[in-house]
Amino acid sequence: MHMVSRFDSPGRWLVHLVVIALLLSSCGSAARPAPAATIAAGPLPADWQRVDLPQLSLALPPEWAVTDAADVDLSSAVTEMAGQNPQLKTALEQGRAALTSGQVQLIAYDLDPARIGESGFPTNVRLGRHVFPDAPAPETVADVNEQDLRQTPGFSEVQRASVAIGDLTATRLTSKLQINDVAGQPLALALEQYLLINGNDLYVLTFTTPTDRQQSYRAVFDQILGTVRVES
């Protein structure tokens, strides 16, 4: 049975992602630090759904629903969200531009009612792709993303680490985001952002979940990350 919640509209789910769809720019080269953690690559689970994107693929649990951002009108949702969070108006508009420009390639939600909880906010993953004229410097890209998070109102507890995802080297940025939802109710979110560079392409894989459910998703997030494959 469908669970009615204050996030019952796909546009309202999507609008919480646009605050982290920040535009990036960088160039040059820099050395990568040694990975502080390793996420093991794993085989595709038998019942998981494979998602093939340009030069990148991954797998998701069967109950996760993939949404095409191009099919969702965010205008009213962004306006409502900005009304409850005026300090995020600029970030919301930047995020909407990123979603409608095609930079966001994948948005998927865990719609299992048993895991959505009282907040009604579904845990989700978003994959963005940004193509640079020249190969971006990993440290510069990480610096820009970290500063964006630190300077955007509502974000806190920003932490950064180099991680290995199988044979891929990535930067992980974790943070907390405190906002009001479209109904004016407080909502605390935990974010994990993984920056992967392949040639001139920057991929940004972001998991977002209510803070009280972050630990329960730890194994699932790592399992999803373990299925990421990037074509060289």
pTM: 0.78
As a whole number of Å, the end-to-end CA separation of the chain is 44
Q: Give the tens place of pLDDT for each residue, 29-70.
A: 344 454 556 787 777 788 999 999 888 999 999 999 887 656
Taking the C-alpha atoms of residue 186 and residue 179, their distance in angstroms, rounded to an integer, is: 6
How does residue 231 score in pLDDT terms, banded at 50, 70 and 90? confident
Most confident of 21-25, 106-110, 205-209: 205-209
b/e per residue 152-176 (b: at least 16 CB within 10 A): bbbbeebebebbbbbebbbbbbbbb
Confidence class for position 206, pLDDT limits 50, 70, 90: very high
C-alpha neighbours within 13 Å on the C-beta side of residue 122: 27
Q: Please tell me the predicted confidence (pLDDT) of residue 72.
A: 58
Q: What is the mean pLDDT of residues 170-196?
A: 87
| Of 72 and 52, the one with more pLDDT | 52
What would the mean pLDDT of 66-86 be, rounded to a whole number? 64
Q: What integer pLDDT is reported at residue 222 of this predicted model?
A: 93
| Of 41-55, 76-90, 158-172, 194-208, the least confident | 76-90
Q: Which residue has the higher pLDDT, 94 or 139?
A: 139
Higher pLDDT, 162 or 41: 162
pLDDT at 97 over 90: no
Residues near 52 by beta carbon (within 8 Å), at least 6 away in sequence: none
> Residue 124's closest CA among 106, 104, 110, 105?
110
Which is nearest to 72 in space by CA: 109, 23, 20?
109
Q: With CA atoms as reference, report the closest residue to 158 among 136, 122, 190, 206.
A: 190
Which of the pair, 9 or 226, is modelled with greater confidence? Answer: 226
Maximum mean pLDDT: which of 58-62, 74-78, 85-89, 123-127: 58-62
142 vs 160: CA distance, rounded Å: 8
Taking all residues of the chain, what is their mean pLDDT, rounded to a whole number? 76
Residues 84, 88, 89, 94, CA torsion sign:
negative
